[in-house]
Amino acid sequence: MKTKTLLLIFLVFFSWKNAGGQDPQFSQFYAAPLYMGPSFAGSANMGRLILNYRDQWPKLSGRFLTYAVSYDQFIPSINSGAGIMILHDNSGGGKLTTTRAGLNYSYRIQASRNLFIQPGLQMYYYQRKIDFDKLTFSDQYFGETILPVSRETAPEMHNGHADFTTSLLVFTDMFWIGASFDHLMRLNTTISEDLNYLPVRISLYGGVRIDLYENILSREEQNITLAFNFKNQADISQLDLGAYYFRAPFRVGLWYRGIPAVSSATHNDAFIISAGLVHNQLSFSYSYDITVSNLITSTGGAHEIVIMYNFNAPDIGSLRNRVGAVPCPSF
């Protein structure tokens, strides 16, 4: 128990003070589209409400929980998408919390009959906070007894600031490719060394959807999606590769996270398996991270749940006109 407590203290302060801190992440990242990039606002051509929940490293004594809720809508009259997203990350049983709330906007440019370019911008408020009363320090350990008070001086308890994300998405009804740049305030030379501002996060992502038909007359929706997601933040790189298979109303997926993308990224992280069900306008999905690194016996992997509701969605069981909708998987 003492070892796990010390590990949590280290993780909290490393995240708080180290310039190499990173953002929370989702295994089902395409089910958190506004967190991927503001260009995904309105990308489904309908109103979309999404709830995300992630429980990471459940074997540790402190919980690492991430919640998100988002809504986005395409507005055809002005060729634009708009959305709102709120994310809350609770690390180490509440010892360190992160909250961000932002507005998203995208503009759709039709370059040809079936090729679209969609730049986007997100403006958000970002806050991190330490609950110093939940931390335990070495001077509090007295044999088997933990003293209630420490002589350690409490650091600044919280900080908050405005920040920005920009992105660009290019897509047809069969493939998509895009890039996002988050924490743009860090590019300001006057605050570039301020540790309260996380390093810029660069994301490159894309994929292709391959439609399959067992019965050409029924036109039953069935497809395979191949995709990737590369991220770089604070000299740490990560590449996710995977595939989904969908046959209404079921979807299954298999991903691998942590394939070395550059020479400095030599670790392997996890296999991710997912399964989901789509019923009319409502979809539900679950995924589990199977850790393959040296932490395989220590963390318990990660559980993730997504609930999505599409407003004014067409029938899921038949193919629809996808022109203008990004073909990446719903979850």
Q: Which of 186, 141, 143, 142 is nearest to 161 (CA)?
A: 186
**pLDDT number for residue 63:** 74
Q: What's the whole-number mean pLDDT along residues 124-138?
A: 74
Could you tell me the CA-to-CA distances from 52 to 28, 151, 152, 184, 214 in Å, in that order?
A: 9, 39, 37, 25, 33
C-alpha to C-alpha distance for 120 and 41, rounded to whole angstroms:
8
CB 66, CB 56: distance < 8 Å: yes
What domains lie within the chain, and their CATH numbers? 2-311 (2.40.160.40)
pTM higher than 0.95: no
Using CA atoms in the order 16, 56, 42, 317, what is the torsion angle rounded to 10 degrees? Answer: 180
Task: Quick: pLDDT tens for 91-121.
Answer: 876 678 899 999 999 999 999 999 999 999 9
Instruction: Please state whether the peptide bond connecting residue 58 to the residue before it is cis, i.e. omega within 30 degrees of 0.
Output: no
Q: Name every residue whose Cβ is closer than 8 Å to that of residue 304 and which is 6 or more positions away in sequence.
A: 26, 27, 28, 52, 53, 54, 55, 286, 287, 288, 289
**Can you tell me the mean pLDDT for 151-165?**
74
Widest pairwise Cα distance in the chain: 76
- Express each pLDDT in 15-67 by its tens digit: 444 434 678 999 999 999 999 999 999 998 989 999 999 998 887 776 789 99
Task: Give the angle 227-64-69 at the CA atoms, nearest 5°.
Answer: 60
Q: DSSP state, 318?
A: B
Per-residue pLDDT reduced to its tens digit, 170-227 = 999 899 999 999 999 999 877 777 777 889 999 999 999 998 866 555 556 789 999 9
Q: Please count the residues of the chain.
A: 331
Residue 144 has pLDDT above 70, yes or no: no
Q: Name the region of 79 (left: φ>0; alpha: ψ -120 to 50; beta: rest).
A: left
**Within 13 Å and on the Cβ side, how many CA atoms surround 261?**
19
**Is 185 in a helix, a strand, or coil?**
helix
State in Å, rounded, how far the first CA of the chain is from the last one: 37
**Average pLDDT in the 232-257 region?**
91
263 vs 72, residue with greater confidence: 72
Tell me the chain's radius of gyration from C-alpha atoms.
21
